[in-house]
Structure 1
């Protein structure tokens, strides 16, 4: 029996059986019951500079091959977002190239792609509201030209400049008026980016959500959906139940997605209270977690498509512990776990990240990811994963 060597926080090692690869199959028809996007990461050139502050050197072959793999499992791709290291190493030039290349791959594969629109190409720390609107519109129009769906990300510039909720309404009103295709609005919590405290005008999610809903209510035909990443399932359900008809909720809650996606179709899933009279009984998905487990997520949604909620829960339920480990505090370093699992699963040749971010997590933290990925059947090629992990341990002086 092949075993995995695990490393505890005190340096102690233990062994656990390496499970066989799951026999998940790619869907033969499009997924129906849920819309799901995997927020994809970028793979750097292993021998590139990629030190903090330097322009990102991207391995385009590996980066785009990963997206093709996601499409093959029936999922969509969410690109150039925080999983791709926006605001943490991915510079403006690399972002534009990523959006253009990713949109081209989506056309080739017949896949759905949405991409992040922000103000981060402007280097000044402080902008006026008019300058923020112009920056948003510049990226928005570029995205539309590429044929990708826009996700209006939370702007650090706006968080710094806005003095009131009305400032948020003004900026988003202008951006939505300038959009030629419906957009997804992204509400990113402070666990992911502490610089976004008080977004939408308040640190209280209830007050902030009123502003978000007002923005949507003014232009419901311009909003395709909302991605909430507050890691608070109750807040997501509360907003979801008040969205106008035709506006989807895309969960960005990497802690509680099993119940949120399952909704009323999976009554045994752990989930917050919801109004049974609401027409909205589940969330769709736009998750960084799904970049680590595309085959598992696909198999779970295929189970829902087949009317088998028990199978959905059996497949996806164990992945939530893995995701909680990947997204453990400090949560904004979750990208390290995403790249680590990509390497273990053979999607990239080296465990490297833009800006040297592969060093952001400890060996015991990574060991726990290995353990939970094994238990959740998220290791696509278990023998390869064991070989790479054990080699990493030996490189760091651990007998494996």
Structure 2
């Protein structure tokens, strides 16, 4: 059974480092000291890909030949996340010391609630490793893996908590004080914010300091030669540079979010009131959310990084139609009811119109996956 962690949230834990990923505790093992361990999810490494890869156009064609294209794509989508098991006194690894932490690469088939462990790498305090894996798919067990499933597959359940946590970090950095005692926004999800750190060792230090204050963390070993140490330093510098580029990508993602909203606003300017109302506030929504609103589309097309979903239908509507009518005069010289001219009147008639709603999705915003950024809609 999963053991839930008691809550302790110093403001500093939410402070965001320049090149950092947010870490969240998602569970622990019930073992007592000195054999405790805690599972920590890396929210900065959540990805998704199509099962088996392949050409997107081929996949799109196969999807359209299925009974439900969106279900077909979802069934083929693999969601991945990193989870670290920080260990107080882990068992020894092969040709190494006791385990410091284990890094799990988890893959999920969200719709079917299946998981496999693509790789599990145990690290000792000298950086020596031992790898294992489990290639078979299995049902998601009700433990820390279920929490990881929630993160990878149920983004709407934690997005609000993450936004609140980031705002708390921003307020702290800007010196803004809250009148209320801060609470962890992840607590209702049975998770806890650890903080944002550039290095795994910094995150591990935080785990030891916060959850195991009664224990002393062992020192890290240095088994590198001077040449290896220089190579290691160069590698870390390269990683920092890559992380700096990632920050630029984050800024670009935010800009893409704004562009999505701008595209939707411009499309709204030329669409009918009815379509503007039904698409109000939907910029940035996922394909799954849109299909839940409008139903399964009639066609799905893929063009590069853009996915196009089309809905077609016919409906009846009331229109005012011009009708030419005769103008009848009175009686003149013994003749009555004679036509003296014509005029135009407008009458309501029921007509059938053909309608189309085309929605465009692309990747590249602050949220993973394809998101709604443009549309065309109307009836004729």
Q: TM-score, normalised by structure 1?
A: 0.26
Query: Relative to total residues, which structure has the larger helix share, 1 or 2?
Result: 1
Name the structure where strand makes up a greater proportion of residues: 2
> Bigger relative contact order, structure 1 or 2, given CA contacts below 8 A and separation 6+?
1
TM-score w.r.t. the length of structure 2 is 0.27
